[in-house]
Chain A
Amino acid sequence: NAGVTQTPKFRILKIGQSMTLQCTQDMNHNYMYWYRQDPGMGLKLIYYSVGAGITDKGEVPNGYNVSRSTTEDFPLRLELAAPSQTSVYFCASNGANVLTFGAGSRLTVL
């Protein structure tokens, strides 16, 4: 039982490049979330999903896009990377009040 799996763990991007952070869960949870955590700060909600085909914006959605075509996968896409998107990104899923986080993806934009 893998829980929540995020890839990649580390990535360096140049300004203007695009990439997708992958998130997969094997617990059949409907609720999934993407957060970013800047150094020494708390977590800010980027996007969330309450089930396949349903997504909504969180607190800081600008510069990101998501999709949820299956219950298992919730990828986060950065279209035009900017230095302000340098952060650690966490994916999480919630089922029956059990919230499980992935290990995180550390992204640096130079």
Chain B
Amino acid sequence: ELKVEQNPLFLSMQEGKNYTIYCNYSTTSDRLYWYRQDPGKSLESLFVLLSNGAVKQEGRLMASLDTKARLSTLHITAAVHDLSATYFCAAFFGNEKLTFGTGTRLTIIP
């Protein structure tokens, strides 16, 4: 069964702190996406990770992919309030189906 699991589901963190969101997937995938969603809005693409060991960074966010462990991480450095949102990972299976994780609702507290 195709499964993408994220943890934690909810995360409250103080401004200035670091944290990591984890994304595990159940079977082989060679493409991993990270998205951000603000309340009532569509999904905004953050990162596309295409190979084992891939690391991408944009501002305070850094994503990595370990295909052997079937694990991707989204690391947040020195969080600011603007990063409050729901973050989703998604993995391609069989080159056709894009399956999403459950999402992590991140709240940054001043």
Contact = CB atoms under 8 A, between A and B. Distances in A.
- Do A and B associate with each other? yes
Interface of A: 31, 33, 35, 41-45, 48, 50, 56, 58-59, 90, 92, 94, 97-104
B50 interface: yes
Interface string B58-94: 0000000000000000000000000000001010000
Contacts of B43: 43, 90, 101
Contact of A104 (B42, B48, B99): B42
Contact of B42 (A33, A56, A90, A98): A90
A58 B97 contact: yes
Given A58-B97, A97-B31, A103 B88 contact: no
Nearest to A4: B42
A94 B45 CA distance: 12
Contacts of A94: 98
Interface of B: 31, 33, 42-43, 45, 48, 50, 88, 90, 96-103
Contact of A45 (B33, B42, B99): B99
A10 B57 CA distance: 36
A41 B102 contact: yes
A42 B100 contact: yes
Given A41-B102, A42-B103, A103 B96 contact: no
A33 B33 CA distance: 15
B67 to A, nearest CB: 15
A50 B42 contact: no
Nearest to A104: B42
B42 A101 contact: yes
Contacts of A100: 45
A90 to B, nearest CB: 7
B31 to A, nearest CB: 6
A56 B96 contact: yes
